[in-house]
Amino acid sequence: MGNASAGIVRSLTEDIVSGRLPPGRKLEELVLAERFEVSRTPIREALRELASRGLIDLQPRKGGIVRSIGLTDLSDMLEAMVELEALCCRISAERMSAVQKKQLQLLQLQSEDCMARGDEAGYLELNHQFHQLIALGTQNRTLAGLLDSLRERLAPFRAAQKKGERRLTVSHDEHQAVITAISQSNAEASYLAMRNHTARLSINVLEQLQSQQAAEAEAAQAPAARSTRARAASAKPARTTAAAKAPATKAAPAKSAKAPKALAATTAAPKPRARRSSAA
């Protein structure tokens, strides 16, 4: 893969991991060629590389579609990397030469200098050399190749961790524990020190992705919630208006209460006429 393709892979990987390119987004060759101002050949190379890392699904002669990054798949890969790193460290403690052990110590001193200058990029490059040297110390090309391939696939996710001085300090201290164990040719202590180091990094990666996916889900639900509230708000005035337009009905005259029977009988009886006087 050429330099142009490698740069495109890095850029698109950052966009995918950060969420700027969400799952389901189409990556069309022509559009990408215009964006990066290159021919379609390096674009195709970059898309094939992204597909091999499990970040996109390829569409022949069209481009790719960003895949949803499953926490289960990522967790599986991180677990495998933790165990492979620790295994390499255990074997290297028994097989590394004195020169290689000295190289680890020199890398540690250079890392301290980067921390003092606030050079995070320089520190991360030395960190890569540190882990690569331990893998080579196994003197097992198959094992080192498997670890290198897995580390390459996970690189964009590990790079997405929250940055900060404390993060580098913790990493540096953990590296020192690994170097001490390897220098003493203590295979079991080397295994545990590296396993502790890579497991912490893996937890950070998973937490970062969980937070990102939760934010994406919340953002996706927000428009639907606003639409529901808007429909509910518009429905209330409509009912009020309909009620206001409805014709008022006249109240039916109230029926008078029936008089008690005794009073009714008294009222209905005819008034007796006065009799004429017989003297008249």
- Condensed to tens digits (0 to 9), the pLDDT of residues 129-170 reads 999 999 999 999 999 999 988 888 887 777 666 555 578 899
Nearest C-alpha neighbor of 191 from the set 94, 64, 73: 94
How far is the CA of 243 from the CAs of 236, 240, 246, 249, in angstroms? 11, 5, 5, 13
CATH 1.10.1040.10 fits 3-66, yes or no: no
For residues 175 and 134, the answer to whether their CB atoms sit within 8 Å is no
Check residue 61 and give its pLDDT.
Answer: 75
Q: Averaging pLDDT over each range in 27-31, 177-181, 197-201, 254-258, which range is the top one?
A: 177-181
Instruction: Give the per-residue pLDDT at 254.
Output: 46
Most confident of 130-139, 152-161, 198-207, 240-249: 130-139
Which of 107-111, 118-122, 232-236 bottoms out in mean pLDDT, i.e. has the lowest?
Answer: 232-236
Q: How many residues does the chain have?
A: 280
Give me 267's structure tokens.
Answer: 């009222």
The torsion angles phi and psi of 108, rounded to 5 degrees, stand at -65, -40
Name the CATH superfamily, with its identifier, for domain 71-212. Answer: GntR ligand-binding domain-like (1.20.120.530)
Is pLDDT of 109 > 50? yes
Give helix 141-159 / helix 3-18 axis angle, nearest 10°: 50
Mean pLDDT over 162-181 rounds to: 85
Tell me: pLDDT of 87 over 90. yes
Average pLDDT over residues 191-206: 93
* Res 6: pLDDT: 86
Residue 265 has a pLDDT of 39
What pLDDT, on the 0 to 100 scale, is given for residue 118?
Answer: 87
By the 10 Å C-beta count (0-12 exposed, 13-18 middle, 19+ buried), 111 is classed as: buried
224 pLDDT band, cuts 50/70/90, is: low
Say whether pLDDT at 65 is over 80: yes
Helix axes 98-117, 165-183, angle to 10 degrees: 160
Mean pLDDT rounded to a whole number for the chain: 81
Please count the other Cβ atoms lying within 10 Å of the Cβ belonging to residue 212: 15
User: Domain extents for the chain?
Assistant: 3-66, 71-212
Is the per-residue pLDDT at 190 higher than 70?
yes
How are beta strands 56-59 and 26-28 bridged, if at all?
A: unpaired
- Please tell me the predicted confidence (pLDDT) of residue 63: 85
Q: State the pLDDT at residue 139.
A: 96
Q: Taking Cα atoms as reference points, which of 184, 177, 156 lies closest to residue 19? A: 156
Average pLDDT over every residue of 220-241: 66
> Which has more pLDDT, 226 or 258?
226
Residue 54 corresponds to which tokens in the numbers above?
């499990």
Mean pLDDT of 35-58: 91
Q: How far apart (Å, rounded) are the C-alpha atoms in residues 252 and 33?
A: 81
Q: Report the pLDDT value the prediction gives residue 165, as an integer from 0 to 100.
A: 53
Q: How confident is the model at residue 241 (pLDDT cuts 50, 70, 90)?
A: very low
> What does the pLDDT read at residue 170?
92
- The share of the chain scoring above pLDDT 90, in percent, equals 46
Q: What does the alpha-carbon distance between residue 70 and residue 157 come to, in Å, rounded to a whole number?
A: 12
Residue 256 confidence (pLDDT): 42
E strand spans, the chain: 26-28, 56-59, 63-66
